Structure 1
Amino acid sequence: MKSFVRERNFLILLTGLLINGVGGGVYAVSGMLLVLHLTENVLFSGLAYFSITLASTLAFLVAPFANYVTYKKGLIVSGLLKSALLFTIPLFYLTVGLNVFYVLVLLFVVALVSQFTYPIESTITPIIVGQDHIIKANSFLHTIREGMGIAFLAGAGILVVFVGPVHAIFITAICHLLTSITYLFFNFQQPSLPESKDSFTQLLSSYTNDLKAGIQYIQHSLIPKMIVSIVFVNLAMGIMVPNLPAFALIKGNENEAIYGLYLASLSFGIMIGAILTPRIKELDFGRLVISSFSITGMMWIGAAIFPVVPSIVLFCTGAISIGIINILIFSAIQQQVETSYIGRVITVLSSAAAIGAPFGGLIGGMIGSTFTPIVPVFLCGVAMIIFSLSWLSSSILRKLPRIEDARLFPNHLSEKV
């Protein structure tokens, strides 16, 4: 047990993430299935994914406002708001009825609120555990979260079969409420806030300056060189993900629980990646990306072709690289960026990288409804191989050393030294 694991605030953060893991597992299965049930059309699953991922591309408009509330208050209020919004789904279902377009809008709003909390969670982790423990702490959190997520997702698939997606979303709402209560017990140092006397114009100006600062911070780093290829990966994932519910129904002979197993296998693969990360972080990052994503592509092509059992195994294996790369890039940013800039840098990066996802959802919905949901999964596998080849063709990305030696922000590092 590492020292940070026993730290009070870290345990509170971990508890909140685990509760969210329960709700998130149920929501991941029930949200997309609810849209599919209401319409029986994969195209609307694509629209649902578009709604959710569009919020990620707008994160740069929302997340900087996190600088104007204490971290603790921001997490608590966001959880309460998401809980209240999700409670309306079972409420309307039992009273006036549920409209698919209302569900699509609600999915977007809930995802948009989440964009407010992501940079806060990213910022408080190094505050709680210290700079020296970031990689180990992130690996620990991802391992625990994804490990529990496997059971949650698999269980959620079975739960939805018995109670239906609407009542399952009610469970997610309760989980967000419990998470807000848990975060009430945080006691780490909170940031100073702008004076309450500031006018809206002044706050807006300050917000704009924060946003520009985040963009300028990464302008002369290696991040812009990575963004184009990451956008391509998100486009490919966007084509695949909205088709997974219908894809799982085809593979599992209309058994809805199979969708939960596919999502659980995805989490299991990411968890394996998180476990492996501290052990392989010494490898050259460029070569690691190239080799791991080429394997991912082959695994997911196989998942599209083979029957359900080998398909789930291959789908899981292909997800390992995602767990590895996410933690390494995320940890490098946390280590190399000043604490006051972490939230802004991650927001700008995630917003830019997420541009491909909503459009991928629309394309995937059209491909899945026109042909079969199997085709988008196959195409996503092909795209992963193309992604690895793009890194191979770039001398800068191909030659990146181990992540702790890869100076993503060379100017800022030199200034700090």
Structure 2
Amino acid sequence: MRALFGNVAFRRLFAGRIITNAGDSLYYIAAMWLAYDLSGSAIYTGLAGFLTLVPQALQFLTGPFVDRWDLRRLLVATQVLQGVFVLIIPFAAWKGWLSVELVLIVMPVVAMLNQFVYPAQSAALPRIVDDEELVDANSAFSFAYQGVDTAFSSLGGILVALVGAVSLYLIDSVTFAVTALVFATTRIPAVEDSETEESTDQVASALSNYVGNLREGIEYTRGTIFVSMLVPPLVVNFAIGATMATLPAFASLRGGARTYGILLAAITAGLLLGALSASLLKRVSVQRLMAIGFLLSGITWLGAIYVQWLPATALLFCLAWTPIGATNVVFMSLIQTYVPEKLLGRVTSVIISGSAMAEPLGSLLGGVAGERVGSTAVIAVTGIGFLFVTLYWVIHPVLRHLPAIEKIEPTEYGLKRV
């Protein structure tokens, strides 16, 4: 790993990754709060979350373009364009033109531009590091993504309370400007001419390959235990979307932007604690871990809603999300352990894409429900969803017998080798 960071190109690409991740996290938090602050309606907050999250499901469409365009220019251009678009919000506020409709227009545009960044960075890695360093390079990038997102989601909530959401857009524009400069000074070798001139219909070919690869991943996943295990992530992601859509309204009832920042910090701290503790639980039965973990999440989540003292609410929020952070790691480890390496990327994308689609839907419907029945009721339903996951793991005829990861017999659960 030390030799890896001795590579100047990698070091700059890594620095750009950290800075742009920080900007993404700050932008999402600022946009969600501003949508609620301008409208006073959870419907708009839910719509804002939906518009920001949906482009993630379309990221595969950017791949063919990433393969065709110069990566350094693409990375610089995306940062510059995102910086320009986020500046529209503080400029509109200065001129007195700011509205929730403008926020909702800017959000998906910035989010869609961002979908080019991560595929471009992934495509750049093999060009700037040796083959034997790729695993370490991807590991470092993954750590940067998770760690920075956790830290700056918390910081974003606090900054909203201290300087306001509009000021956060100004800060965000600076992160995009700095990242553009970093990427501009990063040397990314071009691919060989023979590779770039393969076909005049490269986009259509790449999309066709994507569909074929996706079909192969679906065919493998079908009939495995992962199909049954997909139900809990769908429920949880839907609940997360609904929670994030109504959290600004819930926080406003408990003290406003300051409370919003504290609750976001508590949630992200819980996820991080859970992820860090997952390695201590690898010998525990997967069924027991999932059932007990989500039982604790449901109980502490519901308790947090009805406790009126903010420090206790924040502590219970943190405890509720700790099992979720741990079970996320265990679920991914199970996939990585038993899926053949040649299919791992495809199977992972099928499972993650399938479960991730529930989050924008949860955000949209959660916002509507929050406006009609109140944010507290919607967040309470999230706790009930966690309890449903516990019940699912207890009564499912196959999952209730699932042992620890290292004791699973692959053929019993459809995890065939290819």
User: The TM-score by the shorter chain falls in which range?
Assistant: 0.7 to 0.9
Q: 2:395 aligns with which of 379, 393, 396?
A: 393
Check if 1:303 corresponds to 2:304.
yes
Offset from partner CA, 1:338-389 (integer Å, 9 cap, x none): 47973x5554433321222222222211221122211111110110111232
Q: Which residue of 2 aligns with 1:26?
A: 26
Match of 1:220, SS state, is helix
- 1:100 maps to what in 2? 100
Distance in 1 of aligned mates of 2:179 and 2:414: 35
Match of 1:369, as an amino acid? E
| Equivalent position of 2:243 in the other structure | 240
Distance change >3 Å, CA 119–CA 85, structure 1 → 2: same
State whether structure 2 residue 331 is matched by structure 1 residue 326.
no
SS in 1 for 2:196: coil
Is contact 1:139-1:327 (8 Å) kept?
no
Q: Matched residues in 2 for 1:261 and 1:404: separation?
A: 38
Counterpart secondary structure, 1:207: helix
With 187-196 and 72-81 compared, the bigger mean Cα shift is at 187-196
- Specify the code of the residue in structure 2 equivalent to 1:256: A
* Residue of structure 2 in register with 1:361 after alignment: 363
Is the Cα contact below 8 Å between 1:281 and 1:402 reproduced in 2? yes
The yes-or-no answer on 1:153 pairing with 2:156 is yes
CA displacement 1:4-43 (0-9 Å, x = unmatched): 8856477556534442454244323311121112212111
Ranges in structure 2 where 5+ consecutive residues have no aligned partner: none
* Structure 2 CA distance for aligned equivalents of residues 149 and 179 of structure 1: 16
Deviates more, 1:352-361 or 1:55-64: 55-64
CA deviation digits over 1:59-112, x for unaligned, max 9?
Answer: 444456545457766554433332232122223333472332232132122223
TM-score between the two structures when normalised by the length of structure 2 = 0.81
Q: Is the 8 A contact 1:244 1:259 kept in 2?
A: yes
Q: Is the CA contact 2:157–2:257 (under 8 Å) kept in the aligned structure 1?
A: no
Q: 1:89 to 1:153 in 2, by over 3 A?
A: closer
1:166-187: per-residue Cα shift (whole Å, max 9, x none)?
2211211221332343345667
Residues in 2 aligned to 1:189 and 1:132: alpha-carbon distance in whole angstroms: 20
| Residue 250 of structure 1 pairs with residue 247 of structure 2 | no
**Mapped contact 2:26–2:156 kept (Cα < 8 A):** yes
Whole-angstrom distance in 2 between the partners of 1:151 and 1:324: 19
Residue identity in the other structure for 2:351: L
Q: What letter is aligned with 1:377?
A: I
CA contact (8 A) 2:298 2:320 kept: yes
Q: CA RMSD in A?
A: 3.7
Distance 1:240-1:148 versus aligned 2 partners, 3 A rule: closer
Alignment deviations for residues 209-239 of structure 1 (CA, whole Å, 9 cap, x no partner): 2233123224323443333332222222222
Aligned to 2:49: 49
Q: Does 1:287 align with 2:268?
A: no
What is the aligned length? 404
Distance 2:11 2:175 in 1: 17
Q: Using a 3 Å threshold, how does the CA distance of structure 1 residues 81 and 309 change in structure 2: closer, same or farther?
A: same
Q: Which has the bigger relative contact order, CA under 8 A and spacing at least 6?
A: 1
Q: Which residue of 2 aligns with 1:265?
A: 266
Q: 2:168: which partner in 1?
A: 168
Residue 234 of structure 2 corresponds to residue 224 of structure 1: no
CA distance in 2: counterparts of 1:199 and 1:108, whole angstroms: 30
- Distance in structure 1 (CA, Å) of the matches to 2:20 and 2:82: 11
Q: Tell me the CA shift for residue 391 of structure 1.
A: 2.8
Q: Would you say the 8 A contact 2:50–2:361 is kept in 1?
A: yes
Q: Is this contact kept in 2: 1:29–1:156, CA < 8 A?
A: no
From the superposition, tell whether residues 232 and 340 of structure 1 become closer, same or farther in structure 2 (CA, over 3 Å).
Answer: closer
User: Taking every aligned residue pair, what percent have the same amino acid on both sides?
Assistant: 26
- d(CA) in 1 for partners of 2:188, 2:335: 22
Specify the SS of the correspondent of 1:56.
Answer: helix
8 Å contact kept, 1:277–1:328: yes
Paired with 1:4 and 1:321, the residues of 2 have a C-alpha distance of 36
Partners of 2:287 and 2:380 lie apart in 1 by: 25
- Is the alpha carbon distance of 1:110 and 1:146 closer, same or farther for their aligned partners in structure 2, counting shifts above 3 Å? closer
**Inter-partner Cα distance in structure 2 for 1:190 and 1:410:** 39
Asked if 1:111 corresponds to 2:114, the answer is no
Residue identity opposite 1:158 in structure 2: A
Return the offset for 1:146: 5.6
Please identify the structure whose Cα radius of gyration is greater: 2
CA distance in 2, matches of 1:282, 1:65: 44
Matches of 1:57 and 1:347, distance apart in 2: 10
Give 3-state SS (helix, strand or coil) of 1:319's partner: helix
1:263 Cα deviation (Å)? 0.9
* Cα separation, 1, equivalents of 2:121 and 2:334: 16
